[in-house]
Amino acid sequence: MGLLLLPDGGLDVSVAAYDSVEQIPELLSAIQASLSEKVQEGSAIASCIAYPDYEAGEVVAFLENRENYCATVRIPVAGAPTSEADLENIAVEDGSVYVFPVNG
């Protein structure tokens, strides 16, 4: 899933579906390219690209704003008896620029 936060508070949402886990890297690249293109066309404020990491049992979200402040957020997901985000154990790490042009 990809999200762009717009100046008016609206969101531009991109969603990709997959048949197998092996498709996730390709779909992430496509979403990144799509969001980067949209950023060049408009005035987006921030972006988020998120995907499930089944091996680690978490959702990974790459957060970025137009000033190139970036973070990688890892949200553990407990799977039994139903899937729930484990919000008490979220990990935030330094991130990288994926969508916005590098300022400098």
The model's pTM: 0.86
Q: Closest by alpha carbon to 3, among 54, 38, 53?
A: 38
pLDDT digits (tens, 9 = 90+) for 45-104: 999 999 989 899 999 999 999 999 999 999 999 877 778 888 889 999 999 888 998 876
Sign of CA dihedral 31, 33, 38, 44: positive
For the chain, give every domain's residue range. Answer: 2-94
Q: What is the pLDDT of residue 43?
A: 82
Contact 72, 83 (CB under 8 A): no
Quick one: pLDDT at residue 102? Answer: 87
Measured between alpha carbons, how far is 92 from 103 in angstroms, rounded to an integer? 22
